Structure 1
Amino acid sequence: MALFLGVVCHAEVTRSHGYHPFGDLKYPADFSHFDYVNPDAPKGGSITLFGNGTFDSLNPYILKGRSPADTPGMQMYGVTELADSLLMGSQPHNPLGDEAGAAYGLIAEWLEYPEDRSWCVFRLRDQARFHDGEPIRADDVVFTFNILREKGHPEYSLRLADVDSVEALDERTVRFTFTEGRRDLPLLVGAIPILPRHYWQTHDFERSTLEAPVSSGPYRVADVQGGKQVTFQRVADYWAKDLPVNRGRYNFDQVVFEFYRDADVGFEAFKSGAYDLHYTYSSKRWSTAFDFAAMKDGRVKRAEIPHSVPRPVQAFFFNTRRAPFDDPNVREAAALLFDFEWSNRNLFADAYTRTVSWFPNSPYSADIPASAEEQALLEDFRKTLPADYFSADITPPVNDGSGQIRNRMREALALLKESGWQLQGNRLVNDAGKPLRFTVLNYHNPGIYRILAPWFRNLKRLGIDADYREVDPSAYKEKLDNFQYDVVLFVLPMRDYPGPELKDYFLSSSADISGSRNLAGIADPVVDFLVKRALAADTEADYTLALKALDRRLRYQHYGVLNYHIRHHRIAWWDKFARPPEPIPYGLGLDTWWMKQ
């Protein structure tokens, strides 16, 4: 038996205080706190944050309703998920700030697993408690997985499809058996929020409600004003407050979210002190809108904070379930007419980098041309692949920024003519005389149309009618969940080591499941093969190869118009907070801030 940094290996079974699917853990079993926190940060005070849109439920685990956690950008603040999980570090709301891909025990004291990852066992901490004082036990874990798969949001049944069984071995030990061994599965089950069996057995789990359920995390809901405001109160006797994974974190006594349906109205409220921190997505606002009194006199600070977070995929997703985007030529032609360089120069002050990969700011961007290893990986599909598949330049076109894209127009028109579209006057029509037109769906966002307008102008010049439909957040969610759109603007989160979310985003089996995030309706056997190959990889090299091949397939098929990204956080805040001196590589790190004394 070997003991190294708290990791015990015996008869090919590993027991550890944390987990990484491929590498070693940075922190040993006896670590006292994460390096990026101030372990002596004082507790107290309140911070008020911006909420985007509205909400009508405090149950984030079901398809029905819209919870604060469902609203754009909320999870990065680290408060909206109230339930603890077996492990922490791999979730968007609870990321590990300085170590990619790893997770450490939270409810779980340790986990153990065999080399083939066909099962894993978690040992729960004896002191783990829900907010009402009831202990968190193995029966709660079993209950959670069963109810999420049977009655929860469809994403849970998709992500947990490879969990064959969950068994309580005793009151503090739970065993997961998997249908197949995969390195990501211990991380997957470790990230699921654990729900109180005793509470949900007497409450309707499938009901959308503004009654806050019993939970277990560092905050609880103290007050709610439906659709407008929610107040989270730090739990003074939080069971895990002194664990190494939590020292120096969750320092505010209260975190209040004020919800605004209009981002411009929200920013004006920030300028007057209605909330404390503003995360800026708009380059125009960042460059032109901070010339106000509180900024000039130093009461408001702002900074561009660099990070290494894999960027989410922001794109105009084409719905391939319906015409005209069931035709790859139409998809490619429409994408050719998105002139990023003109928009970046004229709208964004050259602030952005074009997103060229479905895995931006990561090592998983496809090689051009494809490596010999990638070609070998797809050997069984070679007869069905186009002749230029492995050599084609799948990088989005680069224009000169002048707005003159006649060459792209010619390329696009040739593709459309190949699919039977012909110019009739100033419009493109098919053989039945039906014009080529589509609508982009989004929720109310005042800045979006100025981004769409240049694309629409180029489309119009070619004879394509494109328009924009803006709906309220509730209607947007319903249409998104049921795929009622031609094109939708959306942001798909990406992690350092993408895992089961790949099934939700890209697998054929998710294409027709209401609420899935397979927004383009991808149903492609090559994509299915590559997703499964990535998830089943035994080495990091095989995993990277499969993801690079997946990136090529998604780009070659033109499932969306990839947008742009930046590699830093743009935030402004009222100067009453302190924070650790060094930027946190893999998160915003608001959970490490504290009130100035």
Structure 2
Amino acid sequence: MDMSSVARMKTIPLGLSRIVATAMILTLAALPLRAAPQHGIAMYGKPALPPDFVSLPYVNPDAPKGGRIVMGVGGSFNSLNPYIVTGTPVEGLSLYTFETLMARSIDEPFSLYGLLAESVDTDESHTWVEYTLRPQAKFSDGSPVTVEDVMWSYETLGTKGHPRYRGAWSRVAKMEQTGPRSIRFTFTEPDRELALLMGMRPILKKADWAGKDFEKSSLDLHIGSGPYTVGKVEPGRYISFRRDPDYWGKDLAINRGRFNFDEIRYDYFADENGLFQAFTAGLTNSYREPNAARWQNGFDIPAIASGAVVKSEIPHSRPSGMIGFVMNLRNPIFDDWRVREALIDAFNFEFVNMTLNGGTEPRITSYFSNSVLGMDHGPATGRVADLLAPFAADLPPGTIEGYSLPVGSAERSLDRKNLKTAVGLLADAGWTVQDGVLKNAAGEPFAFEILLAAGSTEAQSIIDIYVEALKRLGISPTVTVADTAQFKERTDRYAFDMTYIWRALSLSPGNEQYLYWGSEVADLPGARNWAGIKSPAVDSLIGAMLNSANTDDFIAATQALDRVLTAGRTVIPLWFSKTSKIAHSANLHYPERIPLYGDWPGFQPEVWWYED
């Protein structure tokens, strides 16, 4: 209220002034409560870093600029558009050349800080969110990042982009420009995470896509606003990113100590063995070792002895996620939970782990194991039990009572006890061995295909052991190895019975859970619900996570979801590692302070640097 308004009120009679004052109070009370725009946003409470923070806590703010990092990738690529279903996208493009309104700290599960946006505003319930662009934000060609670019990007990704963008977009009731540099999103339903999620969409330059089919895979280069531009690219072989000396955001606190290499390069090789050989030959200078046994015994190379190469283990505190072999519920052969349990019983994890890892790696016991979000393997209690109770009649055995994976024998490839259990379960489900072949009452054999990606030697080794165990049950699956493009095409349309799956899960699970397990996307090509899960319990529990009023409710909802997914028995879980094992040139360095998420997108190469 300005002083002229006060002066005018002095001339109003006393009774009328009270009426006017009351009306003004009621009008103000009717307006939505909002705080002042902030430098960051958190799911609950406030971000850990203050508005005047100097740098992220896990970076070296004085890291020198220069040098190069060369990493290997298995497979191939045929697309420079990472935002659509078609094509096999190249590594790194969305990470280094395109930016989002907000940036994630990999030291906080539920916080974002301004990047292209200088501020963010929302109401207490996160029913809407408003971002204000930085006036200095520019694309690499020098043109400003505008609200028009933001709005076009969100609508295009939401209607034509990969399914991972469409779920959130469907929950936007209104998108509107609210100022010269401001844009607001109003949501259709309660969902606390949406206010954060809408800040994590890549912003594309609208004019750069004029006259082009966004949904068509191509090798055309497009303009971004990020710290790197594409230097050279050879389809299927390599891509090189060069640090942009004119990058608009190089002096932002969120970027201090990050993006230090002059060049980031990804070279492509046919398989995992090719990646390792390229590293030992000096063709790449950083290599992540997925195999624990080779990490211990396979690095007897001159570069290690001379000190030119060092081995680093990066710890983390994130959930195990789910890595294993997923069964496609779209195939009726997997309808019965007893069949799925039998296939899990037949898999002797302890022997596989001993054979391939020397027995060193812990098994994944649930989707969020190794974290506070993971389920308790005993009976559900308290808030978790309350969340599961409405669905009790339709949940598989063990969901509420408690469920644990079978334990096999590390000494023998075949565990007779678990195989006997599997035989009994299959018989209960109507499958018996007839003339050496497992068949149903109609005489139809239990037949299915296992789809593997070419070059995945470890997965192939695991399946070789597993197939031998299945033969004891009268099952002889077909194993098909597909090249990178074929594997992606088949998994995009769910044309498989069983295949290798890897779902990395974080300490801040949210709307992406719908993409992984939600009924709504189970039949949507290109979504990530490979199992084809259609469960009212899963959908409800994801909703409960997103609408939790506090951290305790969020943990309970996630633990309940973990129970339903794990007891659903759609995946044969493998192992995870509590550290990332990285062999690298001694010239490559990383900060002493390791973030909560450890080696996660945002760590290497973002906070590493080159120094002699």
Structure-1-length-normalised TM-score: 0.93
Tell me if structure 2 keeps the 8 A contact 1:481–1:516. yes
Q: Deviation of residue 243 (structure 1)? A: 0.5
Indicate the residue corresponding to 1:537 in structure 2. Answer: 548
What do residues 162-192 of structure 1 show as CA deviations (whole Å, max 9, x unaligned)?
1222111123000000011221111110111
State how far apart, in whole Å, the 2-side matches of 1:239 and 1:83 are. 13
State how far apart, in whole Å, the 2-side matches of 1:303 and 1:43 are. 22
Q: Please show how residues 411-450 of structure 1 align to structure 2 within 5 Å.
A: 411-444=421-454, 445-450=456-461
Residue 308 to residue 375, structure 1, CA distance change in 2 (3 Å): closer
Tell me which moved more, 380-389 or 334-343. 380-389
Q: Deviation of residue 81 (structure 1)? A: 4.7
Indicate the residue corresponding to 1:593 in structure 2. Answer: 608
State how far apart, in whole Å, the 2-side matches of 1:267 and 1:178 are. 47
Indicate the residue corresponding to 1:493 in structure 2. Answer: 504
Matched, 1:347 2:356: yes
Matched, 1:294 2:316: no
State how far apart, in whole Å, the 2-side matches of 1:389 and 1:355 are. 17
Over aligned residue pairs, what C-alpha RMSD do you find? Answer: 1.7
Q: Deviation of residue 310 (structure 1)? A: 2.9
Tell me if structure 2 keeps the 8 A contact 1:16–1:110. yes
Residue 340 (structure 2) aligned to one of 331, 352, 363: 331
Residue 480 (structure 2) aligned to one of 462, 466, 469: 469
Tell me if structure 2 keeps the 8 A contact 1:456–1:467. no
Residue 371 (structure 1) aligned to one of 376, 381, 384: 381
Q: Deviation of residue 580 (structure 1)? A: 1.6
Indicate the residue corresponding to 2:126 in structure 1. Answer: 117
What do residues 15-60 of structure 1 show as CA deviations (whole Å, max 9, x unaligned)?
3211110243211000111122111111111111112211001100
Tell me which moved more, 157-166 or 508-517. 157-166
Q: Secondary structure at the match of 2:62?
A: coil
Tell me if structure 2 keeps the 8 A contact 1:351–1:566. no
What do residues 47-104 of structure 1 show as CA deviations (whole Å, max 9, x unaligned)?
11112211001100111111114xxxx69xxx74521101111xxxxxx232222111
Indicate the residue corresponding to 1:4 in structure 2. Answer: none
Structure-2-length-normalised TM-score: 0.91
Q: Deviation of residue 511 (structure 1)? A: 0.4
Residue 170 (structure 1) aligned to one of 146, 170, 179: 179
State how far apart, in whole Å, the 2-side matches of 1:29 and 1:157 are. 32
Tell me if structure 1 keeps the 8 A contact 2:320–2:505. yes
% same residue = 35
State how far apart, in whole Å, the 1-side matches of 2:436 and 2:313 are. 45
Q: Secondary structure at the match of 1:381?
A: helix
Residue 295 to residue 421, structure 1, CA distance change in 2 (3 Å): same
Q: Deviation of residue 146 (structure 1)? A: 0.7
State how far apart, in whole Å, the 1-side matches of 2:120 and 2:34 are. 14
Q: Secondary structure at the match of 2:253?
A: coil
State how far apart, in whole Å, the 2-side matches of 1:569 and 1:575 are. 17
Residue 51 (structure 1) aligned to one of 73, 79, 85: 73
State how far apart, in whole Å, the 1-side matches of 2:577 and 2:534 are. 30
State how far apart, in whole Å, the 1-side matches of 2:411 and 2:588 are. 44
Residue 521 to residue 385, structure 1, CA distance change in 2 (3 Å): closer
State how far apart, in whole Å, the 2-side matches of 1:114 and 1:206 are. 35
State how far apart, in whole Å, the 1-side matches of 2:314 and 2:159 are. 42
Q: Deviation of residue 446 (structure 1)? A: 2.0
Residue 64 (structure 2) aligned to one of 38, 42, 57: 42
Tell me if structure 2 keeps the 8 A contact 1:313–1:360. no
Indicate the residue corresponding to 1:26 in structure 2. Answer: 48
State how far apart, in whole Å, the 2-side matches of 1:488 and 1:388 are. 25
Residue 188 to residue 388, structure 1, CA distance change in 2 (3 Å): closer
Tell me if structure 2 keeps the 8 A contact 1:319–1:326. no
Larger fraction in helix: 2
Q: Secondary structure at the match of 1:157?
A: helix
State how far apart, in whole Å, the 2-side matches of 1:220 and 1:435 are. 55
Q: Please show how residues 549-588 of structure 1 align to structure 2 within 5 Å.
A: 549-588=560-599
State how far apart, in whole Å, the 1-side matches of 2:336 and 2:292 are. 34
Residue 286 to residue 167, structure 1, CA distance change in 2 (3 Å): same
Residue 541 to residue 67, structure 1, CA distance change in 2 (3 Å): same
Tell me if structure 1 keeps the 8 A contact 2:319–2:506. yes
Matched, 1:153 2:168: no
Residue 208 (structure 1) aligned to one of 210, 217, 232: 217
Code of the residue aligned with 1:107 in structure 2: it is: L
Q: Deviation of residue 223 (structure 1)? A: 0.9
Query: Unaligned stretches of 5+ in structure 1?
Result: 1-9, 90-95
What do residues 199-251 of structure 1 show as CA deviations (whole Å, max 9, x unaligned)?
12243312212121011111111111011010101111111111001001100
Indicate the residue corresponding to 1:86 in structure 2. Answer: 101
Q: Please show how residues 253-292 of structure 1 align to structure 2 within 5 Å.
A: 253-292=262-301
Number of residues of Structure 1 aligned to a counterpart in Structure 2? 574
Query: Unaligned stretches of 5+ in structure 2?
Result: 1-31
What do residues 515-534 of structure 1 show as CA deviations (whole Å, max 9, x unaligned)?
00000000111111111121
Q: Deviation of residue 413 (structure 1)? A: 1.1
Indicate the residue corresponding to 2:518 in structure 1. Answer: 507
State how far apart, in whole Å, the 1-side matches of 2:177 and 2:350 are. 57
- Large movers: runs of 4+ above 6 Å: none
Highest CA radius of gyration, 1 or 2?
2
Q: Deviation of residue 315 (structure 1)? A: 1.9
Indicate the residue corresponding to 1:6 in structure 2. Answer: none
Q: Deviation of residue 345 (structure 1)? A: 1.8
